[in-house]
């Protein structure tokens, strides 16, 4: 009778305490590279597109439905949903080229209200 083979895997994790709360951090080479774009911006754009899809398919009828399902206020959903209406050029720079914006996420929502031709200049500070 053969003894069972045991494999031991070692992953060097570190514990950091941002804001006083311990958080387990994976090694740097295992963390996806966001290329300078803050991860919260990438997540917000993905969430906004998910919400847009729900509205377009009829899975959610109103912003209040989305807010209730997500456990957030409808005052949060409205401005964040605007991120789904950024121009294709801005989205390509943020998501594909990973060029960091020169505006905050709140200002990025306001940029989405501009015409597409002006959005890239306002987001990345192009002359």
Domain locations in the chain as residue ranges: 39-124
pTM of the predicted structure, to 2 decimals: 0.70
User: Would you say 105 and 40 are in contact if contact means Cβ atoms under 8 Å apart?
Assistant: yes
pLDDT of 70 reads 92
Place of tokens 């060029």: 99
pLDDT of 34 reads 61
Question: How buried is 91 (Cβ within 10 angstroms: 0-12 exposed, 13-18 middle, 19+ buried)?
Answer: middle
Per-residue pLDDT reduced to its tens digit, 11-59: 777 777 766 777 777 666 665 666 667 888 899 999 999 999 999 999 9
* Residue 87, pLDDT above cutoff 60: yes
* Residue 2, pLDDT above cutoff 60: yes
* Residue 110, pLDDT above cutoff 70: yes
Mean pLDDT of the chain: 85
Helix and strand tally (H, E) in the chain?
Answer: 6, 2
Tell me the average pLDDT across 63-80.
Answer: 92
């Amino acid at each position: 009778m053969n003894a069972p083979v045991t494999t031991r895997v070692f992953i060097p994790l570190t514990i950091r305490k941002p804001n006083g709360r311990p958080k387990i951090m994976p090694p740097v080479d295992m963390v996806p590279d966001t290329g300078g774009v803050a991860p919260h911006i990438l997540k917000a754009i993905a969430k906004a597109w998910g919400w847009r899809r729900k509205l377009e398919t009829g899975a959610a009828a109103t912003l209040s439905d989305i807010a209730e399902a997500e456990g957030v206020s409808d005052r949060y959903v409205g401005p964040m949903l605007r991120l789904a209406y950024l121009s294709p050029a801005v989205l390509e720079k943020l998501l594909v080229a990973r060029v960091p914006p020169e505006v905050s996420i709140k200002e990025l929502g306001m940029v989405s209200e501009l015409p597409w031709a002006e959005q890239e200049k306002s987001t990345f500070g192009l002359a």
